[in-house]
């Protein structure tokens, strides 16, 4: 390894020199910034992935993407052996390594090796993939050189969605028990489960969809999906990357935040439409009713649909597993009421970031987690999977109960349990709607969202905003929380919170209230307070 470190140092001072002094943090979803500022970070993350692989004695994943961010941004995140996000204690290691001067690399690598007790002779293996951003291919080369310089083996999967890369990592580290680590393996697993359970022409359910692929990798991958299910589901692809820019006026984030359809989709009343984000790990649905009014079915609506379905299947199977749902502060107040009071499923609230939701969902036998922005999945504990599997063969159960248990067991195969996955989530939603025989309107009727608004406020240094209570309250700057409380108290059903983004250089503001006008007004007022107390820059929200 010492020879490798020498080579890494040489390359760090020549080909992969740090060309700027900006500090880049391993944030909500890895490193994210302008693509042009990331070359040295990718090289160093190649090296770090090799070290992580040696520590875990397993294949580590690296995904090059900035997901919902604009096309000129890029990013990188490491994926741990079971396809989960990098362990949080390594985030600071990654941040330090990404930011130190070129001359300090050798010393820092030796520190990591010592502190983490790394066996330098342990072989290392890294899986990596990238999204369709113009900068991604070059950054993938830098990553590959980092892996090679550190003496690691690798497999470059080229263009994949983020959740597909997570899936590949889990497959290889479970000796293919989770599935085959190939694109075909992924599609075969998901679509076989879908084919078994899907009810094509049931009641009001129509087997056709329009997908906004955000001009990203989701388009390429959905074309492959279509090859597997074209006899079951008619899919029309929009924003497929042939002309528009990635995430520009399209994609899940745009639709969720703007609460309107993306460019490129001419909504016809009743047609189910959906948007992925740039790397297809998020999904939101929407439709226009007969009066052409736009209705959004976001992550909260997907979570409630899924939790209700799983709860029914468990009850029909005669199983009493501990089912729970995890949300963040962005969850609409009506969704939390509905889950708690109508579905009677316990709800937990955690800070933004899939890693937090995933972690909390592991505490349930079956943990459904979704961010309102459409990022989520379902986790089945080993105990739950075994109990369900036993129930399919349990002769003390009725045939109907065994059949429901088999259905539940098949559903597990449809779900990418490593992380939120737009393609897998879409198949799950379609399966549930087809089983219920519902159109989008019937799905939407479960509860009515409180009007809500999200804003971004640019400030000098977003780290001045400190939060607590799963980001529902601020502790700094002084006076901010009191000011928010005072504003909120003036609105019926008012609720608002602010938090620094972990993926963009902004402070996010969320507000909900009894009417659209009030939600918009509250958001603007809270945004203005943030601007005044936290060093706002540019345009003041009010």
Q: Which residues bind ligand G16 (CB under 6 A)?
A: 28-29, 67-68, 277, 281-282, 352-354, 371, 373, 375, 501-504, 508
Closer residue to ligand G16 (CB): 281 or 413? 281
Closer residue to ligand G16 (CB): 27 or 181? 27
Closest alpha carbon to 260 in 246, 271, 273:
273
Are 273 and 264 in contact by the 8 Å Cβ rule? The answer is no
Q: How far is the CB of 283 from ligand G16 (least distance, A)?
A: 10
Q: How many CB atoms lie within 10 A of CB 176?
A: 13
Backbone torsions φ then ψ of 157, nearest 5 degrees:
-85, 0
Closer residue to ligand G16 (CB): 314 or 509? 509
Q: Catalytic residue among 14, 21, 53, 67, which?
A: 67
Q: How far is the CB of 466 from ligand G16 (least distance, A)?
A: 14
Q: How far is the CB of 239 from ligand G16 (least distance, A)?
A: 16
Q: How far is the CB of 426 from ligand G16 (least distance, A)?
A: 15
Are 241 and 132 in contact by the 8 Å Cβ rule? The answer is yes
Q: How far is the CB of 328 from ligand G16 (least distance, A)?
A: 7
Is 519 among the annotated ligand-binding positions? no
Closer residue to ligand G16 (CB): 84 or 277? 277
Cα gap 298→185, rounded to integer Å: 29
Is 371 among the annotated ligand-binding positions? yes
Joined together, the tokens standing for residue 223 give 């074309």
Are 522 and 450 in contact by the 8 Å Cβ rule? The answer is no
Is 279 among the annotated ligand-binding positions? yes
Closer residue to ligand G16 (CB): 183 or 504? 504
Joined together, the tokens standing for residue 235 give 């899919």
Residue 328 makes CB contacts below 8 A (sequence gap 6+) with 349, 350, 351, 352, 356, 357, 371, 372, 470, 471
Is 88 among the annotated ligand-binding positions? no
Is 508 among the annotated ligand-binding positions? yes
Is 281 among the annotated ligand-binding positions? yes
Are 363 and 326 in contact by the 8 Å Cβ rule? The answer is no
Backbone torsions φ then ψ of 199, nearest 5 degrees:
-120, 90
Backbone torsions φ then ψ of 100, nearest 5 degrees:
-70, 165
Is 291 among the annotated ligand-binding positions? no
Q: How many CB atoms lie within 10 A of CB 118?
A: 19
Closer residue to ligand G16 (CB): 238 or 282? 282
Q: How far is the CB of 437 from ligand G16 (least distance, A)?
A: 32
Are 284 and 251 in contact by the 8 Å Cβ rule? The answer is no
Closest alpha carbon to 7 in 90, 105, 83:
105
Q: How far is the CB of 427 from ligand G16 (least distance, A)?
A: 19
Q: How far is the CB of 172 from ligand G16 (least distance, A)?
A: 23
215: left (phi over 0), alpha (psi -120 to 50) or beta: left
Q: Residue length, the chain? A: 542
* Burial (CB count within 10 angstroms: exposed 0-12, middle 13-18, buried 19+), residue 331: buried
Is 337 among the annotated ligand-binding positions? no
Residue 386 makes CB contacts below 8 A (sequence gap 6+) with none
Q: Concatenated DSSP letters for 338-362?
A: IIIIII---EEE--SSHHHHHHHHT
Is 12 among the annotated ligand-binding positions? no
Rg over alpha carbons for the chain, rounded to the nearest Å, is 23
Closer residue to ligand G16 (CB): 189 or 375? 375
Closer residue to ligand G16 (CB): 387 or 503? 503
Sign of the Cα torsion 10, 13, 17, 23 reads positive
Our answer to whether residue 67 is catalytic in this structure is yes
Is 173 among the annotated ligand-binding positions? no
Binding site, by residue number, is 67, 277, 279, 281, 371-373, 499-503, 508
Known catalytic residues are 67
Binding residues for substrate: 371-373, 499-503, 508
Pick out the residues of the known binding site for Mg(2+): 67, 277, 279, 281
């Amino acid at each position: 390894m010492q020879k490798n470190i020498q080579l890494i140092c040489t390359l760090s001072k020549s080909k992969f020199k740090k060309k700027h002094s900006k500090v880049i943090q391993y944030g909500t979803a890895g490193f994210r910034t302008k693509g042009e500022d990331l070359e040295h970070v990718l090289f160093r993350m190649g090296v770090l992935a090799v070290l992580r692989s040696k520590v875990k004695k397993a294949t580590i994943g690296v995904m090059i993407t900035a997901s919902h961010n604009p096309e000129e941004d890029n990013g990188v995140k490491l994926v741990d052996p079971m396809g989960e996000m990098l362990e949080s204690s390594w985030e600071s290691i990654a941040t330090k390594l990404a930011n130190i001067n070129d001359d300090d690399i050798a010393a820092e690598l030796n520190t990591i090796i010592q502190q983490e007790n790394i066996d330098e002779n342990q072989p290392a293996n890294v899986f990596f993939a990238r999204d369709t951003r113009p900068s991604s291919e070059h950054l993938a080369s830098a990553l590959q050189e980092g892996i090679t310089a550190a003496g690691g083996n690798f497999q470059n999967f080229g263009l994949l969605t983020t959740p597909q890369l997570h899936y590949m990592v889990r497959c290889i580290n479970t000796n293919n028990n989770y599935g085959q680590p190939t694109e075909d393996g992924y599609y075969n697993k998901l679509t076989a489960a879908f084919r078994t359970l899907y009810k094509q022409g049931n009641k009001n359910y129509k087997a056709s969809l329009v997908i906004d692929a955000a001009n990203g990798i989701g388009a390429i991958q959905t074309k492959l999906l279509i090859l597997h299910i074209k006899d079951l589901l008619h899919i029309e692809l929009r924003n497929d990357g042939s002309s528009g820019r990635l995430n520009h006026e399209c994609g899940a984030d745009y639709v969720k935040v703007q609460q309107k359809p993306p460019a490129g989709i001419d909504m016809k009343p009743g047609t189910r439409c959906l948007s992925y984000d740039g790397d297809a790990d998020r999904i939101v649905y929407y439709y226009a009713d007969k009066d052409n009014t736009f209705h959004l079915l976001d992550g909260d609506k997907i979570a409630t649909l899924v939790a209700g379905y799983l709860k029914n299947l468990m009850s029909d199977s005669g199983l009493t597993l501990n089912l729970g749902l995890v949300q963040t502060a962005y969850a609409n107040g009506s969704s939390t009421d509905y889950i708690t009071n109508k579905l009677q499923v316990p709800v937990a609230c955690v800070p933004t970031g899939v890693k937090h939701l995933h972690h909390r969902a592991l505490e349930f036998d079956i943990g459904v987690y979704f961010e309102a922005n459409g990022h989520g999945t379902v986790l089945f504990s080993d105990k739950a999977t075994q109990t369900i599997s036993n129930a399919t063969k349990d002769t003390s159960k009725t045939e109907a109960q065994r059949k429901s248990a088999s259905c539940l067991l098949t559903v597990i195969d449809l779900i990418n349990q490593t992380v939120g996955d737009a393609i897998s989530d879409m198949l799950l939603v379609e399966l549930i709607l087809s089983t219920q025989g519902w159109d989008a309107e019937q799905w939407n009727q479960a509860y009515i969202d409180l009007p809500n608004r999200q804003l971004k406020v640019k400030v000098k240094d977003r780290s001045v905003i400190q939060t607590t209570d799963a980001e529902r309250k601020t502790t700094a700057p002084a006076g901010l929380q009191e000011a928010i409380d005072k504003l909120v108290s003036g609105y019926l059903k008012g609720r608002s919170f602010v938090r620094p983004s972990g993926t963009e250089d902004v402070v996010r503001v969320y507000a909900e209230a009894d009417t659209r006008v009030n939600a918009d007004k509250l958001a603007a007022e809270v945004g203005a307070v943030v601007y005044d107390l936290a060093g706002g820059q540019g345009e003041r929200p009010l």
